[in-house]
Every structure is written in structure tokens, then in C-alpha cells.
Amino acid sequence: MALHLHGSNNPNGVSSNGDRYAIHPYFLFKDLVTIYLFLLVLSIIVFYAPNLMGHSDNYIPANPMSTPSSIVPEWY
């Protein structure tokens, strides 16, 4: 079946509007489920495990008398 024929954009292959599948609610529901799952996982990380992706250097107490080893001067 050719792609650019009239009525080839729906699975039934018919040109009347009454026999077409209504796909809008299905895609909307699928997208909303995906968004809600993403927000659920994000909120679990933010509220229950905020240090999950943190770096261990963040827990070293600050010492104003010494420069951290990760800070090095640029030599030209």
C-alpha cells in the first residue's frame, strides 16, 4: 500500500470520519502516565533520598586554613 494515498494514515484504510479510530485519548493517557511516573520517581529522590546523587566531598567540614586538593592553579 502506498503511503501517500488518501486514507492511508489510519489503520483501517477508510476515508470516512465515522470509521476511524480515536487515538487522541489513548496517547493522552499514555503520556500522562509517563509524566506521573517521572514525577513520582523525581519526588521520591528529592524528598526521601536527596543525597543519593551527592558527592562525598560535600560532607568534609570546611577548613578556612587549607585549600582543597581539587583546586589547583593554572600554570602557563
Q: Note the pLDDT tens digit of each residue in 37-59.
A: 999 999 999 999 999 988 888 88
Which one of the listed residues 15, 19, 30, 43 is annotated catalytic?
A: 30
Has 55 been annotated as catalytic?
A: no
Q: How far apart are CA 36 and CA 72, in angstroms?
A: 44
**Of the residues 4, 6, 24, 55, which is catalytic?**
4
Tell me if residue 74 is catalytic.
yes
What distance in Å separates the CA atoms of residue 49 and residue 45, rounded to the nearest whole number? 5
Q: What's the predicted TM-score (pTM) here? A: 0.54
Q: Is 31 one of the annotated active-site residues of the chain? A: yes
Average pLDDT of 7-25? 66
Q: Which of 6-15, 17-26, 38-47, 60-69 has the lowest mean pLDDT?
A: 6-15
pLDDT value of position 4: 61
Please write down the HEC assignment for all residues of the chain.
CCCCCCCCCCCCCCCCHHHCCCCHHHHHHHHHHHHHHHHHHHHHHHHHCCCCCCCHHHHCCCCCCCCCCCCCCCCC
